[in-house]
Homo-oligomer: A and B are copies of this chain.
């Protein structure tokens, strides 16, 4: 696929994910060197103590890893597996996820991401994640197909 058309393809895929629309996430940037997503926080995304629910953060990890892998593989991609460490409870106006591929082979990319809560001019690291992203043609499993 023509690399110059990947950011546009990424935007189209992102916009066509109903769950992404339900949560209200935004694709800020998508290039070969990585992707940035943001998610404005609101009450519906919280757990019982007023912080962002872990599932909201793991959504951002899953999705940013997938898109970073897709950009690096230059193809439609899916997350085969990932691991996330929560560093701190997440609150603030929004979450920001930045993901990049750290190793790319023909069929898969190993990607890492960091997720911050952002409030005014203050960023706090909330989570880090690492996972395997594979071409859609690469196998039957994965969180997307």
- A62 at the B interface (CB under 8 A): yes
Query: Nearest chain B CB to A18's CB is how many angstroms away?
Result: 5
Taking a contact as CB atoms under 8 Å apart, the answer to whether B86 and A143 are in contact is yes
Q: Interface residues of A: mostly helix, strand, loop or mixed?
A: mixed
Task: Give 20 A-B contacts (CB < 8 Å), ordered by A residue.
Answer: A18-B45, A18-B53, A20-B53, A22-B44, A47-B144, A49-B145, A51-B145, A53-B59, A54-B143, A58-B62, A58-B143, A81-B86, A85-B130, A86-B142, A86-B143, A103-B128, A105-B141, A106-B139, A108-B141, A112-B130
Which residues in A have some Cβ–Cβ distance to B below 8 Å?
13, 16-23, 43-49, 51, 53-63, 66, 78-89, 102-103, 105-108, 110, 112, 114, 125, 127-132, 138-145
Given A53-B63, A103-B125, A132-B132, 6 more A-B residue pairs with CB atoms under 8 Å apart are A22-B44, A49-B144, A55-B62, A87-B105, A89-B144, A130-B130
